Structure 1
């Protein structure tokens, strides 16, 4: 009888623990998006970022009948418009949601429903993949802990926020699935997901390369037991990549090199990987030592790299080909996505604490535990590229953040069950540090004690310039072509019938240059830019005026401040938050 009481209490304790974890998960899920943000997306089509606005414009055009292979945004830089490097694999579900809800709610509300619903559905998919993977590797409690951490990871929350319809949420979900497939040894599935990642966007390329290197190293070390996974990966990637490329690319462009999207250069690498893995499989029985396997792999790999360099040298410089110094210095390097960790530290931007520490800790934890299991080793292999990219460019954190809850769930579960008291004290601190909301009070305290001396324009005021209300006056005007700051371009396309000269996309370098020179230069510069681009309307956001390109304030800045005027520019009566002028013919 004395032995039964503890045994009976154990299930009750486990039930209470599970219930508590589910309650925490439910709370996290319920608080990921504030109701006011969801309402703003539903009824005002407010989205977090210009990329989200441009994605909605693409989806709207597709729903309105624009051709599947026609990826040109015809109101951006017309004529002939700017071809997008984005994927129809992301446009399609959004367009489908718009068409689904239009008969029920009307087109305007249907677009808001699609923008609000898509991130929720996508997070549901991410959570399902995360929990199934964590449960299979670490157990059910770790799966629940991973879900809780996911709802508290700021780097994930921003990618699934209401209106966040850009491709990063889908990309990080695919890469998580890729990691789990490698852990299971399902090489063919990992290869297919790698191809899907490349088709969605080349942000996944470093992770695909890291996954391939992991499987190659595994084969070098273990030989035949690892051969099936490596071969499956090569076959899955080599076959799926051209299929997905053909499914979303105009046949007339199949032979055109694009360094910023899936195209012949990257298909060459996928095909080379297929040949490499088949070659390794064919020779596997003869290569009995790791050194000989490494030598064969090195020769085949060097041939692929040399072929890529010889055939596609332009892509060795990265995706931003043809970028001028003016555009790089006055646009690209000022985009928040391109900010480096040293820059965040030098500026004293404490909000970086919500993003970087958890990724650093997850990478170190996975690396430390890599010798103890395949799951930790795979996680470490895929986290390191994200961390290194994130140190140089903030956007490098986006995809890697999706792996943090997987590592955190397994590690926190481990801390709860193992280790001496001394080790557990340090481990508990690390486990807590893997939850990014823990760092928010520290960041807030730092900002209070040592605020960042902001010299940049008012960010909130700039966001106000992108709202449907701010742009309502512009929307009411007869359609024309607008010269405006590039960051306003997508919002103008989304909320008005106007065409635009510039938007923040690297395929529109001449248009961005015209905007920078016109808005940041003299009256002559402005007039020349508007004439060359065929712009009939000038729009300025007082909260974010363009950078002056000469010692004196730019002419447009003085127009906004009322210290300059021009007889060839007529202010429109409907001004509001933004300023609008019509140019004389």
Structure 2
């Protein structure tokens, strides 16, 4: 039977154990990512645009001004839904290093240092839970499970400067709050952590609701334990309000559905106030308590919908059907797990499922406070697994939750395997451990056996290295480039030019126009391009987005450009062949009555 280990918050032994794991992982990450670090090849469009946003902030753009003025400049730019909280560590590190290294090198160092700080924070929180509840040896195993999870590792590595890593840190901090001895302290830690997490991204709203439901269930089972729930809800609401004031101010008070806006803050406040009133009623019968909590939840939801009825179906329901079909429906991380490749499904689901099983075992083998903790832990793990089934990127939350219990189970298996008399059983246990940690190991081994097929599939991909075209782009006067949405962020990063749209939903009209133009006939595309004041048109034929447009419209604008058959209103601009970027200048419109012998497409 497991029992609680009474230990202080942190010790030198804990810091040493976690620090050694962090150092090893950091060295491996930097070594693996070094070519991308040297070439400034950020993992995806969000990281790239985050760096653009950081550059704008350092260049003097206002703290409360979250516009991207070089996206859709014809319409005044795009107001982003991202939080300044993520910019803070990036800004601090770069500002500290710039006097020593110079702006360019300081920026490159920041792209490595800040994600490694995020990794250190996450490992420390994972290690602390394992160290306090399950013993020193489990620290290594829990940290190992955490970093080997593809859902987690993909979010916390050099160059990954967007918000996902900090969301994981906030979740782990909230879990540490649940493990606090003081219900007041624990509730406040969990509430502050998730309040900051929701400010960073509203993706943590369902997780915060999970915590609230689990803590309300504790109150229902034991009215004496209501303090944790109350302090959690109050801290959650107050942190959300304070973080909103600090990062949004009074500049943007609109009730957006994709960020922590006044409507959501009202809902959090109503929930906290209602539950506080309920606690003043004293000991009421359990059915009355349940009905009261239901009424608080209903009142909170009603407050949100009264202020923002457009949010009843989520932030993406109002997307234009064309944008929904050709952009949003193709974002793999936003798809349900069952729409992923089989290998990806295994990597996303096996570790957290095993972690849930281990959490249930810990609940079964514990008593008293620990049994209640692991039971609640398992409930939250079930909730995050359900979220992961619906939205694949939420698998990072489930994997982070599973790290500590799964680390304990693997440590337990390691102890037992040493006492097994038969080598066959030892091999079976070791193989099972390896498959839990790396579920797609057999598939990876199969790919190694058939290298010819893997090489053939890899050779089909073409290069799109806009950094190689940066010197040529820099010689052109700043202008608007009409480009596929996946090219937009890198064009912003590597040049002074503007773009019509990027893969971010706030620019709804520009997104629609970009997709519509590349699918349309050249005549229709010309009208759209000129309406947005674009001076240039650019594509990377090697990108998947270009192939999607070409397949959907074989006679469309993109298809012609990919075959180097530009319409007569475009003139080619030389770009380095190694970049894979093709660029055309938009010629002045032909005056009415002017004769031309140009064909619809020009070789």
Query: TM-score normalised by the shorter chain: which range applies?
Result: 0.7 to 0.9
Distance 1:148 1:80, change over 3 A: same
Q: CA deviation at 1:551?
A: 5.0
Partners of 1:433 and 1:315 in 2: CA distance: 44
Mapping 1:126-165, distance limit 5 Å: 126-165=122-161
Shift of 1:449: 8.2
Residues 18 and 123 of structure 2 are in contact (CA less than 8 Å); yes or no, is this contact kept in structure 1? no
Conservation of the 8 A alpha-carbon contact between 1:538 and 1:583: yes
Equivalent residues of 1:519, 1:555 under 8 A apart:
yes
Partners of 1:178 and 1:193 within 8 A in 2: yes
Work out the CA distance in 2 between the residues paired with 1:209 and 1:189: 16
Which residue does 1:291 correspond to in 2?
287
User: Aligned equivalents of 1:66 and 1:258: distance in 2?
Assistant: 22
SS of 1:355's partner is helix
Residue correspondence of structure 1 range 549-564 to structure 2 within 5 A: 552-562=554-564, 564=565
> What does residue range 494-533 of structure 1 map to in structure 2 within 5 Å?
494-533=493-532
Instruction: Please state whether the residue corresponding to 1:322 is helix, strand or coil.
Output: coil
Say whether the 8 Å CA contact 2:487–2:539 is kept in structure 1.
Answer: no
1:323 aligns with 2:316: no
Pair 1:365–1:515, CA change in 2 (3 A) = same
CA distance in structure 2 between the partners assigned to 1:108 and 1:460 by the alignment: 34
CA RMSD of aligned residues (A): 3.0
- Following superposition, the deviation at residue 252 of structure 1 comes to 3.0
Counterpart-to-counterpart distance in 2, 1:377 and 1:315:
33
Q: Does 1:77 align with 2:72?
A: yes
| Residue 272 (structure 1) aligned to one of 270, 275, 286 | 270
- State the 1:504 CA deviation: 0.5
Unaligned runs of 5+ in 2: 1-13, 589-603
Equivalent in the alignment of 2:483 = 484
Cα displacement (A) at 1:444: 1.3
Residue 549 of structure 2: aligned partner: 547
Q: 1:306 — aligned with what?
A: 302
1:47 to 42, 63, 77: 42
Could you say if the C-alpha distance between residues 397 and 430 of structure 1 is closer, same or farther in structure 2, counting changes exceeding 3 Å? farther
Q: State the alpha-carbon separation in 2 of the partners of residues 24 and 573 from structure 1.
A: 50
- Alignment partner, residue 439 of structure 1: 439
Match of 1:468 in 2: 467
Report if aligned partners of 1:521, 1:548 keep a CA contact under 8 Å in 2: no
Note closer, same or farther for the CA distance 1:227–1:393 as it changes in structure 2 (3 Å cut).
Answer: closer
Does the CA-based 8 Å contact 1:466-1:491 persist in structure 2?
no
2:346 pairs with 1:353: yes
Question: What are the residue-to-residue correspondences of 1:13-162 with 2, within 5 Å?
Answer: 25=21, 29-30=25-26, 32-35=28-31, 37-38=33-34, 40-41=36-37, 43-78=38-73, 79-162=75-158
- The normalised TM-score by structure 2 is 0.84
In structure 2, the residue corresponding to 1:252 is in which secondary structure?
coil
Alignment of 1:322-401 (within 5 A): 322-345=318-341, 349-367=342-360, 369-370=362-363, 372=366, 373-401=371-399
Deviates more, 1:493-502 or 1:300-309: 300-309
CA 1:74–1:210: 2 relative to 1, 3 Å: same
Seen in structure 2, the aligned counterparts of structure 1 residues 32 and 375 have a Cα distance that, compared at 3 Å, is farther
* TM-score (norm. length: structure 1): 0.87
Q: Distance in 2 between matches of 1:279 and 1:494?
A: 51
1:93 shift after superposition: 1.4
Residue of structure 2 equivalent to 1:166: 162
d(CA) in 1 for partners of 2:471, 2:377: 48
- Secondary structure of the 2:259 match is coil
* Equivalence for 2:600: none
Do the aligned residues in 1 keep the contact of 2:332 with 2:340 (CA within 8 Å)?
A: no
2:234 aligns with 235
- Separation (CA, whole Å) in 2 of partners of 1:214 and 1:459: 50
Q: 1:241 to 1:430 in 2, by over 3 A?
A: farther
> The residue matched to 2:301 in structure 1 has which SS?
helix
Encode CA deviations 1:257-316: one digit per residue, 9 max, x unaligned: 011001112102210221133123212x332x4333223222322232333333322112
Taking a change above 3 Å as real, the CA distance of residues 36 and 215 of structure 1, as seen in their structure-2 partners, is closer
Q: Rate the CA distance shift 1:550–1:468 in 2: closer, same or farther, 3 A.
A: closer
- 1:584 matched to 2:587? The reply is yes
Aligned to 1:5: none
Number of positions where the alignment pairs a residue of Structure 1 with one of Structure 2: 552
Q: What per-residue deviation string (whole Å, max 9, x for no partner) do you get for residues 381-429 of structure 1?
A: 332233222222221213332222222223334445689979x989957
Task: Answer whether contact 2:115 2:157 (CA < 8 A) is retained.
Answer: yes
Q: Tell me, what secondary structure is at the counterpart of 1:160?
A: coil
C-alpha displacement of 1:567: 2.2
Residue in 2 aligned with 1:10? none
Q: Helix, strand or coil for the counterpart of 2:506?
A: helix
